[in-house]
Amino acid sequence: MADKSYKGVLVSATDVDATHVNNSYTGTEKDVGSDPHKTEYNSNDDEYEEDQKDFHNQHSNERPDLFSSTSKEIICVLILTMAPMASSASVGGLQIGLETIGKAFDVDSATLSWALSSFALASGSFFLFFGGIADIFGRRVVLITSFIFYAIFSLIAGFMKNFIVFCIIRALQGMASAASIPAAVGILGAAYKPGPRKNKVMATFAAGAPIGFIVGIISGGICTEFLSFRAVLWFYAILWGIFSIIAWFVVPRTKNDIPLTKKHILEGLNNIDYGGTFLAIAGFTLFVFALSQAEGAPQQWKTPYIIALLIVGVVIIALFVVYETYVPANPLMPMSLWTTSWQFPLCMLIMSANWMNFTGTLSYYGTLYFQVIRGTSPILTTAYWIPQAIAGMTVNFIVALTLHRIPGKILMLIATLSFFASALLWSFITVDIIYWAIPFPAMILVVVGADVGYNVANMMTLTSVPKSMQSSAAGVFNTILQLSTAIGLAASSAVASGISSTFEEPLTKEEILKSYHGAFYFAAAVAGCSVIACLFLKVGTYGNGPKKSEEENTA
């Protein structure tokens, strides 16, 4: 089985109102006056005082001083939106042509999964590292550099004739994508004050993922049908080459982007958490590799090297947590995210379950349903996915208008229920059912859950750290989602493979669909658990202004 539609690399962020918040990240519901971030900022009082001064000196709905005009602001936001778009477009563009790619490289289905898994493995392993790099060396330079290398590796990948080399270049492309997202989030998080304007900007940024996915499946479908799957990679090289040039002129320098002198570079290099970086990359790489490779291994989960890699990966991740807690002065992962309150871990658990469904099960098996069960062409499969992307953009627009009015707990409950309903619908799918009866509403519901949940979870993530650490926080969140995707794919594939193994080869379409049903039942069970967990979540409204009462602001 293959890794699949990674909308999960998108990120949005909205800081909680500075004068009146639901202090969800500390697990309490009380008026925190004008000092809501004190518990997070106690390690850096100067930064805290400076941020508080900024909060009170600018109205929440004003254009940031970094932009000289509204038009430049709009162009900048759109260019930053290309960061999450790069990841989803890359995966969507190749997912639609997997069958053609397998024939071109003459590889079996188990090996073919690495055309997508290599990208996700690299991006998931390097999110934390590049989040720290962006905070140290400047988010603007990291963003532009990542766009350039994304374009370069897209161009090179299109010329590769050897599948192993192709996957290596795809991994490098994933690393470039991993660098751009935390940098973009950090720029927007530092530029905008809490309020409706920031809500709209962050919702626009979050829309980059559905837009990227639709660009991917449309461009991938057209190129695969009429040209070659390689053409879509060259198309991305052209696009992100252009975006990197535009970014140079429109993306502003923030306080984080100081001139890179020799002294600053040396200080930055000394501040990098090398031990944490090594442990994170090694642990996550081994863990995700074992999960992704298990179904294609000779004895599947019983294969000795799969078991060994999985155990070693888990042990290294545990060592990473211990190391980050006690050793580095500037940890790769701010452990205060997890220790301040049980609310943040609960929110991450809910989103982990959501992403096990979204990119780990429903999107992938939905695509297989169209191509394997219905036998649709790449271009027709592309058409089937278009409504989901449109719905995703619409949902982000609605969320932008309601974040400061509807409590986050209610929004997250809507998200989890949407995932649950989508999984239930897919579990009743039949071979000949019409598109509008089940696939269409199921695809709409899953993107509602993904986009609504993402906005709420990212607000909680980024209000747990000061502005200088927002890129690192974005890296933490994206790492969790990438690992959740791998876990969801591995678990759902194990369920589907277990069911299909009970039938004799060759399998009929009805028998194959029964194995897909098993994966959808698994998704429904996971979604049901996330709905129950959501009942204990405490998240209020964001950017709602200082006049709103605490009772109104608490779910």
Q: Dump pLDDT digits (tens) for 120-135.
A: 778 877 887 887 787 7
Does this model's pTM top 0.85? My answer is no
Taking the C-alpha atoms of residue 98 and residue 72, their distance in angstroms, rounded to an integer, is 39
pLDDT bucket at 362, cuts 50 / 70 / 90:
confident
Whether cis (ω within 30° of 0) applies to the bond prior to 196 is no
Burial class (CB in 10 A: 0-12, 13-18, 19+), 506: exposed
Instruction: Reply yes or no on whether the pLDDT at 544 is more than 80.
Output: no
Confidence at residue 422, expressed as pLDDT on a 0 to 100 scale: 94
pLDDT bucket at 150, cuts 50 / 70 / 90:
very high
Q: Among 152-161, 199-208, 373-382, whose mean pLDDT is lowest? A: 199-208
**What are the backbone dihedrals phi and psi of residue 544, each rounded to the nearest 5 degrees, phi first?**
-95, 5
How far out from the chain centre does Cα 62 lie? 29
Residue located via tokens 């879509």: 232
Give the architecture-level CATH label for domain 334-542.
Answer: Up-down Bundle (1.20)
Rounded to the nearest integer, the mean pLDDT of the chain is: 77
Instruction: Reply yes or no on whether the pLDDT at 52 is more than 50.
Output: no
Instruction: Reply yes or no on whether the pLDDT at 35 is more than 80.
Output: no
Taking the C-alpha atoms of residue 34 and residue 19, their distance in angstroms, rounded to an integer, is 5
**Angstrom distances, CA of residue 381 to CA of 211, 371, 440, 447, 489:** 16, 7, 12, 17, 21
According to DSSP, residue 15 is labeled P
Q: For the chain, how long is the longest CA-to-CA vector?
A: 71
Instruction: Reply yes or no on whether the pLDDT at 379 is more than 60.
Output: yes
Confidence at residue 24, expressed as pLDDT on a 0 to 100 scale: 35
Mean pLDDT value across residues 87-102: 80
Mean pLDDT value across residues 77-86: 88
Between 236 and 546, the more confident residue is 236
Instruction: Reply yes or no on whether the pLDDT at 53 is more than 90.
Output: no
Taking the C-alpha atoms of residue 417 and residue 343, their distance in angstroms, rounded to an integer, is 19
Instruction: Reply yes or no on whether the pLDDT at 326 is more than 60.
Output: yes
Mean pLDDT value across residues 358-362: 82
- The dihedral through the CA atoms of 186, 192, 195, 201 has a sign that is negative
Q: Residue ranges per domain, the chain? A: 66-267, 274-329, 334-542
Taking the C-alpha atoms of residue 482 and residue 487, their distance in angstroms, rounded to an integer, is 9
Taking the C-alpha atoms of residue 347 and residue 355, their distance in angstroms, rounded to an integer, is 12
Query: What share of the chain has pLDDT > 70, as a percent?
Result: 79
For 300, left (φ over 0), alpha (ψ -120 to 50), or beta? left
Instruction: Reply yes or no on whether the pLDDT at 16 is more than 50.
Output: no
Mean pLDDT value across residues 255-271: 69
Dihedral Cα 82, 86, 92, 94, nearest 10 deg: 140
CB-CB contact of 146 with 126 (8 Å): no
The 3-class SS string of 84-153 reads HHHHHHHHHHHHCCHHHHHHHHCCCHHHHCHHHHHHHHHHHHHHHHHHHHHHHHCHHHHHHHHHHHHHHH
Between 472 and 248, the more confident residue is 248
Taking the C-alpha atoms of residue 272 and residue 140, their distance in angstroms, rounded to an integer, is 18
According to DSSP, residue 28 is labeled -
Taking the C-alpha atoms of residue 448 and residue 450, their distance in angstroms, rounded to an integer, is 6
Return the structure tokens found at 173.
């492309």
Q: Among 223-237, 298-312, 451-465, whose mean pLDDT is lowest? A: 451-465
Return the structure tokens found at 308.
């060994």
Among 401, 411, 438, CA closest to 517 = 438
pLDDT bucket at 542, cuts 50 / 70 / 90:
low
Residue located via tokens 């696009």: 239
CB-CB contact of 446 with 418 (8 Å): yes
Mean pLDDT value across residues 300-306: 83
Taking the C-alpha atoms of residue 360 and residue 483, their distance in angstroms, rounded to an integer, is 10
pLDDT bucket at 45, cuts 50 / 70 / 90:
very low
Same fold, 66-267 and 334-542: yes
Mean pLDDT value across residues 67-72: 77
The CATH class of the 66-267 domain is mainly alpha
The answer for residues whose C-beta is within 8 angstroms of residue 69's C-beta and 6 or more apart is none
Confidence at residue 299, expressed as pLDDT on a 0 to 100 scale: 78
Instruction: Reply yes or no on whether the pLDDT at 290 is more than 60.
Output: yes
Between 413 and 22, the more confident residue is 413
Length of the chain: 555
Q: Among 58-67, 343-352, 445-454, 455-464, whose mean pLDDT is lowest? A: 58-67
According to DSSP, residue 371 is labeled I
Among 30, 40, 42, CA closest to 341 = 40
Return the structure tokens found at 358.
């979204």
Q: Among 351-365, 367-381, 453-467, whose mean pLDDT is lowest? A: 453-467
Mean pLDDT value across residues 514-531: 92
